[in-house]
Amino acid sequence: MLSIEDVQVFYGNIRALEGVSLHVKQGEIVTLIGANGAGKSTLLKTVSGLLKPKKGRVLLEGKEIGGKAAQLIVKKGISHVPEGRRVFANMTVEENLQLGAYLRKDKEGLKQDYEKVYSLFPRLLERLKQQAGTLSGGEQQMLAMGRALMAKPRLLLLDEPSMGLAPLLVKTIFRIIEEINQAGTTILLVEQNAHLALSIAQRAYVMETGRIVLSGTSDELTSSDQVKMAYLGGH
């Protein structure tokens, strides 16, 4: 579904991605693990059109999307839940969700998708008229994911969904990620919590300083000594 081929991305003169290649098949959860600053968020931003690759290709179902405008990429079926959630703090929960759906014209489908988001995240229904900035961190994460789902993505990019959340909430968020996937959405997940990420993904890639250094099934990486030492606390 998604192919990234030999992609290089620069911030000014600094190379952030050095010839990264990976692929995500339809229906999969694929996770990207690695230390802070490894280039994981940069890669997601490149897929969603927030950054332009200097070299290489980004293909969605065989068609080049690298360097296209972010709103066109949303139209093609890719939604991005950024690191740090980035909800519109001064708008209500409802307005944030409406913004997620701003490109859509299908009234009936929209109604169903609002219902779907409320069933995944009942807390949002309780808080509809509340300003997003007054929500807890966990509720803001739910809102950011709900907002992305309102664009009806076929591919969902999730950047650090567990960041700063209490362990119990993290479990809930990850259960919901699995539900979203089971309902038919393909997921590319960036996550610091390698243990959790590997537990729900089918395949994984390890990034270090802008390069992919390891890839394989989640089971292979979970049992790799290198991954255990670096990302799973040696267990």
Q: What pLDDT score does 83 carry?
A: 86
Q: Is the pLDDT of residue 181 over 80?
A: yes
Q: Is 62 left (phi over 0), alpha (psi -120 to 50) or beta?
A: left
Distance CA 182, CA 178 (A): 6
Dump pLDDT digits (tens) for 87-127: 999 999 999 999 998 878 888 888 889 999 999 999 999 99
Distance CA 26, CA 16 (A): 27
Q: What pLDDT score does 148 carry?
A: 94
Dump pLDDT digits (tens) for 126-141: 999 999 999 998 899 9
Could you tell me the residue range of the domain that residue 53 belongs to?
2-231
Number of domains in the chain: 1
Q: Is the pLDDT of residue 57 over 70?
A: yes
Dump pLDDT digits (tens) for 199-214: 999 999 999 999 999 9
Q: Is 194 left (phi over 0), alpha (psi -120 to 50) or beta?
A: alpha
What are the angstrom distances between the C-alpha of 139 and each of 44, 68, 144, 170, 211? 23, 31, 9, 11, 33
Confidence class of residue 234 from pLDDT cuts 50, 70 and 90? low
Per the model's pLDDT, the better-predicted residue between 102 and 66 turns out to be: 66
Distance CA 18, CA 13 (A): 13
Residues 176-188: what's their mean pLDDT? 95
Dump pLDDT digits (tens) for 143-166: 999 999 999 999 999 999 998 888
Per the model's pLDDT, the better-predicted residue between 189 and 166 turns out to be: 189
Q: What pLDDT score does 108 carry?
A: 82
Residue for token pair 């802008």:
210
Distance CA 117, CA 145 (A): 9
Instruction: Say which residues have a Cβ less than 8 Å from residue 203's Cβ, sequence separation at least 6.
Output: 28, 30, 31, 215, 216, 217, 218
Task: Report phi then psi at 198, rounded to 5.
Answer: -70, -25
Where residue 109 sits, what CATH number does that domain have?
3.40.50.300
CB 180 within 8 A of CB 189: no
* Helix residue ranges per DSSP H, the chain: 40-47, 70-75, 93-100, 107-120, 122-126, 137-149, 167-182, 194-200, 218-222, 225-231
Residues 64-68: what's their mean pLDDT? 95
Distance CA 33, CA 212 (A): 10
3-class DSSP state of 162: coil
